[in-house]
Structure 1
């Protein structure tokens, strides 16, 4: 028995949180970002997808890895994908669905992405990377076959939230309440699978007041500390809950 892809995601995430905290407040951002082109999480079979690791400095020390629905952990260039320096090109099939990420030789991880190849006639086009609060986001319902109309129903966490005649839904300025599981559907072609959209808080602190306070060094330090706590706290709470669930599953699997 092995861990589920969900447990893999949060085990890696918690490891990266520990690394970032050990490096200080200014090192909260991942040391590397995995970029998906096209920028979405769902794909039709036989579409071409390019994955790359973007990092300042030496990107060759990072490798692309995945853990698929078939419970196989492997690197790009082994039994999947065509490796080209810091990128990996792949023509996807249903068996390629799984969790993808960049990993360094030291064990540091980038953001993860749960790529889905459903095999149906409808997919949801949603951002692969986390979206910052206040930014505009457009979700699109994409069809393998040409429908008689572009009407689409959009769902969040299993509940219908909007019906659009253009097949697209735009959120002008996202906030944390918009984070969740999204899917879309067409009356003739069926529904897509769900994809998770992450919304992150802005890490920009307000500019100092004028005139500056008597102790600027102290105020700057407190400002940075408060900003870091606002960013870190939700992740620590969610990570702790999910890590407990994963540990319970590990104990259960060990006993069985």
Structure 2
């Protein structure tokens, strides 16, 4: 049966991304899973000489069974490769390969398009990133000549038609890229020729994902339960110790005798009195 394709949602990042789903379930219910994909280019540059090579692909997070790379040039849209191909390599580039490339799902949703220029008769190309670059990164623009003897010539770089710098080495670096660096670039080599224009696209960096708020809801009950267990354990230990102390105490009946009061003289007079005769002569 054909694959079941669900909703595809494009989103921006440092490259071009889209989310898509392709699930073979054999008639079972399809579950709504989302997969992110980004168009990849090796090498990542927007201009090529004839007979250079290019490798394209869709880098998916998860199942990659449904992607395909498409090309639009000279009013026609064609498939360059699909997920069933072992690779997506264009070994020999020709001017007909000039155009825009993107990833697309079976549902028809697609990522942003990347422009590629294949120069036929031109002697100079500008090697700049074809994929969007991130804010804060470093971009190196390379003005390349087909003729090696021109390597000692000066290269001049232009942005939106305005000269922005020259180099004897043929490259110009843009440090700490910002949104203002986005635009149309080209270069020329003195005495050799000028490149075709290419667009440099700048994308804001994706912010770091915040700590999920649910983490606090998970940790707080765990910490609270731990405290309750600790307190209950301490109370149990204290009760056991108190019980042991109480068991060692021996109780007995103690009788307190009331102390007899001494008799006073008045008490003696109150009793009966006996008199006797003492014979002193017999002593």
**TM-score, scaled relative to structure 2:** 0.59
The Cα offsets for residues 165-216 of structure 1, whole Å up to 9 and x where unpaired, read as: 11000011100000001111001111000111111112215978xxxxxxx6
Residue of structure 2 equivalent to 1:118: 119
Residue of structure 1 equivalent to 2:162: 159
Aligned residues: 182
Question: Is this contact kept in 1: 2:151–2:170, CA < 8 A?
Answer: no
| Deviation (angstroms), 1:117 | 0.8
**TM-score, scaled relative to structure 1:** 0.65
| Deviation (angstroms), 1:108 | 2.3
| Deviation (angstroms), 1:126 | 0.5
In the alignment, structure 2 segments of 5+ residues that lack a partner are: 1-7, 19-35, 215-283
1:59 aligns with 2:49: no
Question: Is this contact kept in 2: 1:64–1:88, CA < 8 A?
Answer: no
Task: Specify which of 121, 142, 145 is matched with residue 143 of structure 1.
Answer: 145
Q: Distance in 2 between matches of 1:152 and 1:107?
A: 43
Output the aligned Cα RMSD. 2.5
Pairing 1:162-201 to 2, within 5 Å after superposition: 162-201=165-204
SS at match of 2:58: strand
Flag the 1:207–1:110 CA change in 2: closer, same or farther, 3 A: closer
Residue of structure 1 equivalent to 2:100: 99
After TM superposition, what 4+ stretches of structure 1 lie above 4 angstroms from structure 2? 205-208
In the alignment, structure 1 segments of 5+ residues that lack a partner are: 1-17, 22-27, 209-215, 218-256
| Deviation (angstroms), 1:123 | 0.3
| Deviation (angstroms), 1:52 | 1.1
Q: Distance in 1 between matches of 2:194 and 2:96?
A: 20
SS at match of 1:135: coil
Question: Is this contact kept in 2: 1:34–1:112, CA < 8 A?
Answer: no
Pairing 1:122-133 to 2, within 5 Å after superposition: 122-133=124-135
Pairing 1:207-222 to 2, within 5 Å after superposition: none
Flag the 1:148–1:114 CA change in 2: closer, same or farther, 3 A: closer
Flag the 1:205–1:36 CA change in 2: closer, same or farther, 3 A: closer
Q: Distance in 1 between matches of 2:91 and 2:112?
A: 19
Using CA pairs below 8 Å that are at least 6 residues apart, which structure has the higher relative contact order?
1
Q: Which has the higher helix share?
A: 1
Task: Specify which of 40, 43, 48 is matched with residue 43 of structure 1.
Answer: 48
| Deviation (angstroms), 1:19 | 3.1
Q: Distance in 2 between matches of 1:131 and 1:192?
A: 21
